[in-house]
Amino acid sequence: MAAPEGIPRLLAGLNGDGRALSLDEHVNQWGPPPASMSASFIDELDRSGLRGHGGAWFPVGAKWRSVRRSITKRPIIVANGAEGEPASGKDRLLVHQLPHLVLDGAVMAAGALGASRVIVHVPGSAIPTVESSIEERRRFGVDSVDIEVVEAPDRFLAGQESAAVNTINNRNSARPSFTGLTTVRDSGVGGRPTLVQNVESLAHVALIARFGADWFRREGTPESPGTALLTVTGRWAEPQIIEIPLGIPLGHALGLRQEDARGIQGVLLGGYGGGWLTAAAALDMPLTEDAARQYGSSIGAGVVALLPSGICPLSEVSRVVTYLEGQGAGQCGPCVNGLAGLDLVMEKLAFRPSSLHGGVSTIPGLCDLVEGRGACRHPDGVARFIRSALRVFADHVELHLSRGACRGNTAPMLPVPTRPQSSQSSPLRPVVR
């Protein structure tokens, strides 16, 4: 099969009616997967420059190589489609509509690492689709490894690496472990070395295995090769998922020019563990993780939310922080105390600033006290979200402190689930550009 050209790549297979691609349709689209996988495929992954799309952007080849080698304990592959981030929909799109691309990638990881089992970790809404796709593969005898499905709970932390492993081990569901001494790559599911990989990362793997690293690098930049899925909120009437080449300016990806910045109060990149940017800076920023970090943000799992004018940004920020505080696993002293403190000051700042004695001066110190001090990176994400908000919405902070809270529109814009998380059942509509 000839290598496909241009973009979309991952989303090229979508059949437009929201149905999952059948195994037949999938093989027609991409050709059959390579008959066998060897460890040398990891070199190809290194050459491709693929990095993880679950949030941390860790190089995928290096991660596979770091899974402990053991003769007695074969590793386990976890395809992580938990997608706890409320503003993200791209992983749901993949598991609902392109399940075989994800399963191919997971089975290839199993082949390259000699794993004995693949576990697909997805929200309950995706289980019927994933199970019937696995059944299709079983019927045709496609895979030489067992694939199972485990339900990811509706929690922000469900997809955190060690939390996912704990859910699968049926212990401390969706709560992270301390991984400072050993990681899940040494001892994870059932005590075996475990690779936890985001489902979008695995979908890219499925295409790299077919078409090669050089093909992968034809899109994107030399430092940030390939494409990425973004979930975009606030640009079109409905949230949409787009596939873009890495490295293009965000404005270009969204079809917006610098003049359009005026109607946008701020851009949230990377979701609730990411960071706010001014619209002017965001529209020119090249979409790479390195650039985003330089701007005090992160591409994270590919969330982009535009905050239109007319909404009080500080009330948006406060609502999200309250949600994030409630989603903490309640296990680590600095996180439990620090997030409670941050939630309280952000709530005062948004809704009753006159009760905020000392202004916002206490906030950076509280952020310092949570960063790097939890078992997981949840508090670090909350701190980044808050620090960047204070920077980007500095004039609103001034106004709140001098004139009181906004009487304007405080209708919620950013999705904050109230349990049970109802949005999980409707996969966002994809847009292919």
Partner 1 sequence: MKRTALTLIVDPIACDGHGVCAELLPERIRLDRWGFPIIEAGGIPVKLVDHARRAAESCPRLALSLVERPL
Note the residues at the interface with partner 1 (CB under 8 A).
177-183, 331-335, 337, 369, 373-375
Q: Alpha-carbon torsion 105, 108, 114, 116, what sign?
A: positive
- In the list ligand FMN, partner 1, ligand SF4, none, the entry touching 369 (Cβ below 5 to 8 angstroms by class) is partner 1
Residues forming contacts to ligand FMN in the complex (CB under 6 A) are: 52-56, 58, 63, 80, 82-85, 157, 159-161, 196-198, 201, 273, 376-378, 381
| 179 vs 362, beta carbon nearer ligand FMN | 179
| 143 vs 161, beta carbon nearer ligand SF4 | 161
Residue with tokens 């969204």: 254
Q: How far is the CB of 140 from ligand FMN (least distance, A)?
A: 27
Q: Is 379 in the site for ligand SF4 (CB under 6 A)?
A: yes
Footprint of ligand SF4 on 153-172 (CB under 6 A): 157
Q: How far is the CB of 256 from ligand FMN (least distance, A)?
A: 27
- In the list ligand SF4, ligand FMN, partner 1, none, the entry touching 328 (Cβ below 5 to 8 angstroms by class) is ligand SF4
Phi and psi, residue 371, nearest 5°: -65, 130
Q: How far is the CB of 388 from ligand SF4 (least distance, A)?
A: 19
**Which two structure tokens, joined as six digits, stand for 147?**
């694939």
How far apart CA 42 and CA 39 sit, in angstroms, is 6
Total of residues contacting ligand SF4 (CB under 6 A): 14
Strands 264-269 and 275-277, how do they pair?
antiparallel
Q: How far is the CB of 340 from ligand SF4 (least distance, A)?
A: 11
Given a contact cutoff of 8 angstroms between Cβ atoms, the answer to whether 90 and 301 are in contact is: yes
| 77 vs 250, beta carbon nearer ligand FMN | 77
Given a contact cutoff of 8 angstroms between Cβ atoms, the answer to whether 349 and 397 are in contact is: yes
Of 24, 37, 30, the residue nearest 10 (C-alpha):
30
| 83 vs 154, beta carbon nearer ligand FMN | 83
- In the list ligand SF4, ligand FMN, partner 1, none, the entry touching 80 (Cβ below 5 to 8 angstroms by class) is ligand FMN
**DSSP output for 104-131:** HHHHHHHHHHT-SEEEEEEEGGGHHHHH
Q: Is 176 in the site for ligand SF4 (CB under 6 A)?
A: yes
Binding piece for ligand SF4, criterion CB under 6 A, among 227-235, 259-267, 340-348, 369-377: 369-377
Q: How far is the CB of 186 from ligand FMN (least distance, A)?
A: 16
How far apart CA 405 and CA 355 sit, in angstroms, is 11
Among 241, 329, 367, 383, binds ligand SF4 (CB under 6 A): 329
How far apart CA 426 and CA 126 sit, in angstroms, is 10
- In the list ligand FMN, partner 1, ligand SF4, none, the entry touching 309 (Cβ below 5 to 8 angstroms by class) is none
How far apart CA 209 and CA 34 sit, in angstroms, is 7
Given a contact cutoff of 8 angstroms between Cβ atoms, the answer to whether 117 and 77 are in contact is: yes
Q: Is 376 in the site for ligand SF4 (CB under 6 A)?
A: yes
Query: Would you call 421 exposed, middle or buried from its count of C-beta atoms within 10 A (0-12, 13-18, 19+)?
Result: middle
Give strand pairing partners of 119: 78, 148
